[in-house]
Amino acid sequence: MSRFGELELIRESMVSVVNEMRANVIHASFSSIIYEGHDFSCALLTADGKLLAQSLDDNPIHIFAVPHSAGEIIRSYGSDMHPGDAFLHNDPYTGGTHLNDILLIQPIFVDTTLVAFSAVRSHWGDVGGMTAGSITGRSTEIYQEGVRIPPTRIATGHRIHREIMELLFANMRAPAERRGDFETMMGAATKAGEHVRRLCTRFGTATMLNAIATLIANAELVMRERIRACPNGVYCAEGYVESNGHTAEPLVARLRMTVHDDTIDVDFFDASPQTAGPTNVGPAMAINSAGTILKAFLDPDTPINHGSFQPIRVHAPEGSFINARAPVACAGSVEVKTLLDSLIAGALGQAVPAKMVGDLKGSGNHTSIAGGGGGRQGARPFYLFYEYPAGGTAATGRGDGSHVTRTYTEGDFNSIGSAEVIESEMPLQVEQIAIRADSHGHGRFRGGCGMRREVRVLDAKAVLSVLSDRNTIPPYGVAGASAGQGNRYTVLREGKAIETSPIPGKIAAFELHQDDILRIETAGGGGWGDPALREPARVAADVAIGVTSAAMARARYGVALTDVGEVDERATDRLRRAMMDARVRLQVQSTESDQYDGARRIFSLSTASAQRLDATDGVLCEIANPDGPSLRGWVRVDAQRSNDALPLGPFACAILRCEQGSRFELRRID
């Protein structure tokens, strides 16, 4: 066999080991969030903790978090690792995501040589804390979110330290389920170690180690080649997490991405300070986002290993909400990561326009209903409904987004929990699952629609917790397209909506009564291109299948339909001309600095411009960017401002790649 053939065989063998790990976890886990939802990842790591092999189905949020955590374990234990050891970790501040994501790694020895690690990170449905499910939109510190596990040896010489595990399980709800998931992780990691040792016997340990080094080096060369094909330059973006769960004040992150020859510097040079709410992340998430997006955009086809990330340098300010320190809460790691994903995707789309894509639903949409337990005689056993429903995917320059579908940032998650599993295991009834019409972002190519799901509570009492984002600041469109509809959570009691939280999408242990209905409406993906350029026949086709209403076709696309659903060409022509004429286009007036009120970007407008927009102080608006994502800001009416002026500072001009005198459409976000 040629050296190249042997190298390929070793690479594919290691990926096969990971694929078998995944199959074992799916088939043996106790939690539906794992065997149905697939919220877990498996990997093989090098002896120094670098990512060696991962399946394309694994959760991208774990791509760099797993080796980051493994590196912390290696630093903690050094050479004090032996055959049969196993370690746990979930600490966000040293590489974890949120506390529910439990990492187990086992060192793989051949004789006395450490050759690799096997790793499984699984989302455990509950790890303690102030609310069932451990994830809530209203936590203020990490201690409210469950058991925090620093690098901890939980097995020596193949003997599990039961006293440690019992201590952990004693602080978690549904401990029998947690034990089952733990045993599954141990079994999958142990079997992977056996396979790797078998490969070392087949090829020789030295050959295997040389092959591992070569595979990582080759992946680095490929990524450098792909980066070299991008034009050198500095590309900028700005975006928000809409709240910390306790106030309506958003958190802002700003990005300068520099492409220089065969490297990319991702500099989140300015971000809001870490906050007293769950929307914080530890140090792994910034590089995780950079790795996820750059790999997906520039090198989607080659296997995943650490070499792909070597040409990427990332800076995230320590003590900010994107690189937080104890003791702040971190349950909203997905919400923050999806913001960082959006910024990098937006900046990269400017560098490589063929890759420009609208924004995604932008949130984990963590949703849990819990009940039972409590130790009362005759009480129903504890149950936990937990899911993270999918939304619409974004449009590209090649076509429309998809409805209620997982995205390239989410791996092999299912789109929605099985109604049969939910109803057979819990006192809940799934009343409705449907496409959420009109939720897509409008554009020459539209985003995908989100979904509407209604779940009725059959138990006498239960509690609801939600942690989501993109409720009030919806997913952006690109190249002049509009935003999708944001996420929305509603509780219906006797047919009427009731208040669950003062902050949209952030709910903590809200008491549900029998026959209450939770209505979940997920966001639509952002559009691509000017909606006035969408082919009227495509709009008519969307109306025919119920994706777009006839009213929305007129209002957003300027398309008029006859009584039988055909395009009325003359009326459409009139509508589109009127729609174009009604747009508010303002002229850029360069200013020395960007204007902010706290985290919020301010668009200072004349009274006449604000009236044309039907906007008052504090209304959210966006600049339609023909060359990238829209730029969001809040209106401030200035009676002294000239009617046609749109004052923008240096960073806004860098994002829009514009100069004094450029003209842009400004529009409300409703």
The per-residue pLDDT for 158 is 95
Q: Are 108 and 192 part of one and the same domain? A: yes
Quote the pLDDT of residue 195. 98
pLDDT at 178: 97
Confidence class for position 669, pLDDT limits 50, 70, 90: very high
DSSP-assigned beta bridge partners for residue 387: 367
The candidate with the shortest Cα–Cα distance to 25, out of 37, 12, 13, 9, is: 37
Same domain, 495 and 382: yes
State residue 380's pLDDT score: 81
Helix (H) or strand (E) holding 267: strand 263-271
Residues 124 and 36 in one domain: yes
Q: Is residue 269 part of a domain?
A: no
**Residues in Cβ contact with 530 at an 8 Å cutoff, skipping those fewer than 6 apart:** 443, 444, 479, 480, 481
Give the model's pLDDT for residue 642. 84
598/51 Cα distance (integer angstroms) = 39
Own/partner pairs, 250-253, CB within 8 angstroms, 24+ separation: 250/473, 250/599, 250/600, 251/275, 251/279, 251/321, 251/599, 252/599, 252/600, 252/601, 253/320, 253/321, 253/322, 253/339, 253/340, 253/343
Q: Confidence band (pLDDT; 50, 70, 90) for 572?
A: very high
Residues 6+ apart with CB under 8 A from 457: 369, 371, 427, 428, 512, 513, 514, 515, 516, 517, 518
Strand order in the sheet with 40-46: 51-54, 40-46, 113-123, 101-110, 86-89, 152-156, 159-160
Q: Which tokens sit at 247?
A: 């106030």
Enumerate the β-bridge partners of residue 430: 455
From 191-200, 328-337, 399-408, 442-451, the region with the lowest mean pLDDT: 399-408
Which one-letter amino acid corresponds to residue 200?
Answer: C
| Phi, psi (rounded to 5 degrees) for 321 | -70, -10
* Coil, helix or strand at residue 118: strand
Are 506 and 367 part of one and the same domain? Answer: yes
Both structure tokens of 474:
């919806």
User: Rounded to the nearest 5°, which phi and psi values hold at 210?
Assistant: -65, -40
Q: Are residues 493 and 504 in the same domain?
A: yes
d(C-alpha 497, C-alpha 517), whole Å: 9
Mean pLDDT of the chain, nearest integer: 95
The CB density around residue 2, as the number of other CB atoms within 10 Å, is 7
* pLDDT tens-digit readout, 36-79: 889 999 999 999 999 999 987 888 888 778 999 999 999 999 99
Reply yes or no on whether the pLDDT at 33 is more than 70.
yes
Contact 81, 155 (CB under 8 A): no
Query: What are 234-276's pLDDT values in tens digits?
Result: 999 999 999 999 999 999 999 999 999 999 999 999 999 999 9
CB environment 226-255: b (16+ within 10 A), e (fewer): bbeebeeeebbbbbbbbbbbbeebbbbbbb
Average pLDDT rounded to a whole number, residues 265-292 = 96
Q: How confident is the model at residue 378 (pLDDT cuts 50, 70, 90)?
A: low
Average pLDDT, integer, range 114-126: 96
- Dihedral sign (CA 11, 12, 17, 21): positive
Lowest mean pLDDT among 167-181, 375-389, 460-474, 508-522: 375-389
Torsion of CA 133, 136, 142, 146, to 10 degrees: -10
Is residue 374, in this structure, part of any structural domain at all? yes
d(C-alpha 425, C-alpha 427), whole Å: 7
Among the candidates 222, 252, 274, a domain finishes at 222
| Whether residue 106 has pLDDT greater than 80 | yes
Q: Check whether residue 553 and residue 589 sit in a common domain.
A: no
Q: Which ranges of 474-534 would DSSP assign to H, the alpha helix?
A: none
Mean pLDDT of the 339-350 span: 96
Is the C-alpha dihedral spanning 417, 421, 423, 427 positive or negative? negative
Q: Please check whether residues 571 and 642 belong to one and the same domain.
A: no
Question: Is position 11 within any domain?
Answer: yes
Pair 331, 278: CB distance under 8 Å:
yes
In a domain, 267, yes or no: no
Answer yes or no: do 546 and 483 share one domain: no
* Run of H or E residues at 452: strand 451-457
Chain centroid, CA 201 distance in Å: 40
pLDDT digits (tens, 9 = 90+) for 478-530: 999 999 999 999 999 999 999 999 999 999 999 999 999 999 999 999 999 99
Residue 602 is assigned to a structural domain of this protein? yes
Question: Does a structural domain hold residue 384?
Answer: yes
Chain segment 145-175, per-residue pLDDT in tens:
999 999 999 999 999 999 999 999 999 999 9
**Which CATH number belongs to the domain containing residue 602 in this structure?**
2.40.40.20
Q: Write out the H or E segment, with its range, that includes residue 430.
A: strand 428-435
Do 587 and 659 lie in one domain? The reply is: yes
Tell me the C-alpha to C-alpha distance, in Å, between residue 117 and each of 67, 84, 101, 199, 280.
10, 12, 18, 14, 29
Helix axes 333-351, 284-298, angle to 10 degrees: 40
pLDDT tens readout for residues 632-654:
999 999 998 888 999 999 999 99
**What are residue 559's phi and psi, to 5 degrees?**
-115, 125
In the block, residue with structure tokens 């990926």: 15
Structural domains of the chain, count = 4
Q: Are residues 73 and 202 in the same domain?
A: yes
Same domain as 144, residue 70 = yes
Residue 550 lies in domain = 535-581
* Residues 453 and 589 placed together within one structural domain of the fold: no
- The token duo for 63 is 């791509």
Instruction: Taking each helix axis as running N to C, give the angle between helix 175-203 and helix 3-28, from 0 to 180 degrees, rounded to the nearest 10.
Output: 160
Task: Give the per-residue pLDDT at 55.
Answer: 83
Closest CA to 366 of 126, 29, 170: 126
pLDDT value of residue 374? 63
**pLDDT for residue 412:** 78
CB 71 within 8 A of CB 51: no
Question: Left, alpha or beta for 489 (phi > 0: left; psi -120 to 50: alpha)?
Answer: beta
Residues 96-101 have a mean pLDDT of 94
User: Does 404 reside within a domain?
Assistant: yes
Residue finishing a domain among 222, 247, 264 = 222
Instruction: Tell me 651's DSSP state.
Output: H
pLDDT given at position 1? 58
Residue 606 clears pLDDT 80, i.e. is over it: yes
Residue 189 lies in a domain: yes
Q: For 412-454, how does the pLDDT look when each residue is reduced to its tens digit (9 = 90+)?
A: 788 888 899 899 999 999 999 999 999 999 999 999 999 999 9
